[in-house]
């Protein structure tokens, strides 16, 4: 059995494994895909001290850093079940799709999240070529341009307000007849001169010139008429889904959005089980934050071990 087993190999999991191994305790890391969301990221310009890098490059550096320590790395393994220890200080068990199981005194759950996609033609083709999911990450790439935000919930309206300060013009598309965002955010959005809001809009296609996005098609749900809008970029803000389906029967406390609830040391509702990164209730989902959270959870796990 391990002292600390990290489930997930994104920035949070990699950081947790390094921090645990540096304490001299037996450390394992299992991941479905080492690198996580960072593998799919083109440009990264907000990882402090690295002015500009690319996802695969950062993942290679993360992997090299983890391998510099005595960490048992098991890639391409999908966890399907968590069986918590029966007594506090006992061993937790994780079951994998292959049927294999691993036991550990402490766990750091870092299975991340995924952006909900529109699932319309063109979206996948133009991902990173105008289709974006993270305004904090990609907003500055559209300076002075015309972009769309899809989704009128809190994240969509926050994104539109944020982007309006950077880009030339923002058009927000909401599927329903009204936006669901908090009134204070809607009021702020409506006060901005370079923002349009289109309600009852069902996005039907992302259009492009073969190399980049040049607009989108939507159907007005009240009239069934189809429209085309010329655009330079599209920010999809219809939800971030935490990868916690496999934890549903574990008894672990999850938020109404399915995120793992943690305390200041990253511990979950189950003693000895910690969590970090996008899979938790941490409000902002970024690489640098996930790494910090991973370090926090590993230190929390070490603290738990020396007390039990």
Q: Tell me the catalytic residues.
A: 134, 137-138
Smallest distance from the beta carbon of 305 to ligand FAD, in angstroms? 22
Beta strand pairing status for 240-242 and 146-150? unpaired
Smallest distance from the beta carbon of 282 to ligand FAD, in angstroms? 9
Residue located via tokens 């996930």: 290
Cβ(10)–Cβ(110) below 8 Å: yes
Smallest distance from the beta carbon of 289 to ligand FAD, in angstroms? 7
Phi, psi of 113 (to 5 degrees): -150, 170
Q: DSSP assignment, residue 117?
A: P
Residue (of 272, 239, 242, 266) closest to 255 by Cα position: 242
Phi, psi of 120 (to 5 degrees): -120, 160
113 or 252: CB nearest ligand FAD: 113
Q: Which residue is nearest to ligand FAD (CB)?
A: 112
Range 100-103 contact pairs with CB under 8 angstroms and sequence separation of 24 or more: 102/1, 102/2, 102/5, 102/28, 102/30, 103/1, 103/2
112 or 272: CB nearest ligand FAD: 112
Smallest distance from the beta carbon of 30 to ligand FAD, in angstroms? 6
Sign of the four-CA dihedral 284, 201, 120, 215: negative
Q: Residue numbers of the site for ligand FAD (CB under 6 A)?
A: 7-13, 30-34, 36-38, 40-41, 44, 46, 78-79, 110-113, 115, 133-134, 137, 243, 246, 277-279, 285-288, 290
Range 267-271 contact pairs with CB under 8 angstroms and sequence separation of 24 or more: 267/297, 267/300, 267/304, 268/109, 270/84, 270/92, 271/85, 271/88, 271/89, 271/304
151 or 189: CB nearest ligand FAD: 151
Token pair in block for residue 302: 């070490």
Smallest distance from the beta carbon of 160 to ligand FAD, in angstroms? 18
């Amino acid at each position: 059995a391990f002292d600390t087993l990290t489930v997930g190999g994104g920035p949070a999991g990699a950081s947790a494994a390094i921090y645990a191994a540096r304490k001299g305790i037996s450390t394992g890391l299992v991941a479905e895909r080492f690198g996580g969301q960072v593998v799919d990221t083109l440009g990264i310009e907000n990882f402090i001290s690295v002015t500009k890098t690319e996802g695969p490059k950062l993942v290679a550096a993360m992997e090299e850093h983890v391998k510099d320590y005595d960490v048992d790395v098991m890639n391409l393994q999908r966890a399907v079940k968590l069986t918590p220890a029966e007594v506090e200080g006992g061993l937790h068990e994780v079951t994998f799709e292959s049927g294999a199981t691993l036991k550990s005194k402490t766990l750091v759950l870092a299975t991340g999240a995924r952006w909900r996609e529109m699932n319309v033609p063109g979206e996948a083709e133009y991902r990173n070529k105008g289709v974006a999911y993270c305004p904090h990450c990609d907003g500055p790439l559209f300076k002075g341009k015309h972009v769309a935000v899809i989704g009128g919930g809190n994240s969509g309206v926050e994104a539109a307000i944020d982007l309006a300060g950077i880009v030339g013009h923002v058009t927000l598309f909401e599927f329903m007849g009204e936006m669901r965002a908090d009134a204070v955010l809607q009021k702020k959005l409506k006060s901005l001169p370079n923002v349009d809001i289109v309600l009852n809009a069902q996005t039907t296609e992302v259009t492009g010139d073969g190399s980049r996005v040049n607009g989108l098609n939507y159907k007005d749900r009240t009239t069934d008429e189809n429209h085309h809008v010329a655009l330079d970029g599209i920010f999809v803000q219809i939800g971030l889904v935490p990868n916690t389906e496999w934890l549903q029967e574990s008894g672990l406390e999850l938020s109404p959005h399915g995120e793992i609830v943690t305390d200041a040391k990253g511990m979950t509702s189950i003693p000895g089980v910690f969590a970090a990164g996008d899979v938790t209730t941490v409000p902002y989902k970024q690489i640098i934050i996930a790494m910090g959270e991973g370090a926090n959870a590993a230190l929390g796990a070490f603290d738990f071990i020396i007390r039990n």
